[in-house]
Amino acid sequence: NFYKRAKEVSILLKLFCYFHVKYRHKYNFEGGALMLHAGHFVMRHLSSFIVSFVTLTASTLFFEPHTLSVVAATAITYFSTASITKFIQKKKLLQQFQLSKAEYKHIHEQLQLAQSRLNILQKQFLRIRSVASFKHINELSRTSKRIINMVKKDPRRFYNAEQFFYAHLESAVTLVEKYSMLNTQPLKDPEIKMALQETTHTLDTVQQLIDNDLKQVLSSDIEHLKLEIDFAKLSANEQKKTFDIE
């Protein structure tokens, strides 16, 4: 009887591994948890627990309680349900944001790259001695972080800030690194001082570019707010005309 149960478990595990390997690439969205959050995680595992509990209860009606077959079936059901639920969640989010799988993957890669550059930028705080330079880097870091977080919440905003991800953030990091390196040199000859001044002026320009990137990311919200204001004004004027007639 033990060998019979063990054979059943072996067959179930082989079937699970076969379908997992065969279909994981087809149904796997590259990019990790770009848009999935803690709520999705809780719902995914809660549904898996409920389905596996039902499977466990049903299995005890056909198998001996606490057998390996029941345990294996319950485990396979749990992980299969979690995988399928995660696939459905991602598919719904892609449909919600009107993104293709390739777009999803590309945006995620750009977000990862931007986050790594932002981390490099923030590390420069420890190397800066000037208060003015510290404030400068802090402003760059704060604005860049806002853009990245907003794109994480709504990946469609990426297309309003492509220059930020492709060029502006990288330029800011490069300039700040060079500024930090020159600023920590014990030798302060006129050439180094001039290079520091030029770098500071260039950083001002890059800061303006990144500020404009943020405005572009917020452009849809600004337009929506203007429409809401115009609608509220129109409604107020119509209501005023009604009161005047009465």
pLDDT at 4: 55
Mean pLDDT of 109-127: 90
What amino acid occupies position 160?
A: N
The answer to whether the CB of 175 falls within 8 A of the CB of 202 is yes
pLDDT at residue 40 above 70? no
Tokens standing for residue 193: 């001082």
Summarize pLDDT for 207-229 with one digit per residue, the tens: 999 999 999 999 877 766 776 77
pLDDT at residue 41 above 80? no
pLDDT at residue 187 above 50? yes
Residues in Cβ contact with 225 at an 8 Å cutoff, skipping those fewer than 6 apart: none
pLDDT at 83: 78
- Where does residue 36 fall: left (phi above 0), alpha (psi -120 to 50 degrees), or beta otherwise? beta
Tokens standing for residue 74: 């319950």
Confidence of residue 165 (pLDDT cuts 50, 70, 90): very high
Average pLDDT taken over every residue of the chain: 76
- Check: pTM over 0.75? Answer yes or no: no
Q: Other C-beta atoms within 10 Å of 43: how many? A: 12
The percent of residues in the chain predicted with pLDDT above 90, rounded, is 25
In Å, how far from its chain's centre is CA 12? Answer: 36
Please state which of the ranges 121-125, 153-157, 158-162, 242-246 shows the lowest mean pLDDT.
242-246
**Helix, coil or strand: residue 144:** helix
pLDDT at residue 133 above 90? no
pLDDT at residue 173 above 90? yes
Tokens standing for residue 77: 């059901």
